[in-house]
Structure 1
Amino acid sequence: MRSIREISDDIQKLIRLLEKKIRFNKEIAIKNYVRKYKKLLHEFREIEKVGELNRNWQD
């Protein structure tokens, strides 16, 4: 039989592992969000450029 101390140590190790995975997944989620935001911003700027060209052409 394992002692309470061993079980407690194992639980603490698992908690640290879970915390590490959660932090890692948050970083990935943030990076993905930033990537999507940059893509949308780029698309918006392209639309702005086309709109500006259309206005200049109509003048």
Structure 2
Amino acid sequence: MRSIKEIRDDIEKAIRQIEKKIRLNKKIAIKNYVKKYKRLLDEFREIERVSDSNFKWND
């Protein structure tokens, strides 16, 4: 039979692993959001650039 200390150590180890996974997933999620918003910003800039050139062309 395992001692209370061994069980406690296993629980603490599991908690640390879960915390590590949560931190990793947050980093991945943040990176994905940054990529998404950079792409959207690039698309917006392209639309803005095209609309500005069309506006100047129509003048």
> Sequence identity, in percent?
69
Task: Give how far 1:17 is off.
Answer: 0.4
Letter in 2 for 1:58: N
Q: Give TM-score scaled by structure 2 length.
A: 0.98
2:22 equivalent to 1:9: no
> Cα distance, 1:31 vs. partner?
0.3
Corresponding position of 1:41: 41
**What is the aligned length?**
59
Structure 1 residue ranges without an equivalent (≥5): none
- Unpaired runs of 5+ residues, structure 2, are none
Partner of 2:58: 58
Distance in structure 2 (CA, Å) of the matches to 1:18 and 1:54: 53
Per-residue CA deviation, residues 8-44 of structure 1 (Å, 9 max, x unaligned), is 0000000000000000000000000000000000000
Q: RMSD of aligned C-alpha atoms?
A: 0.4
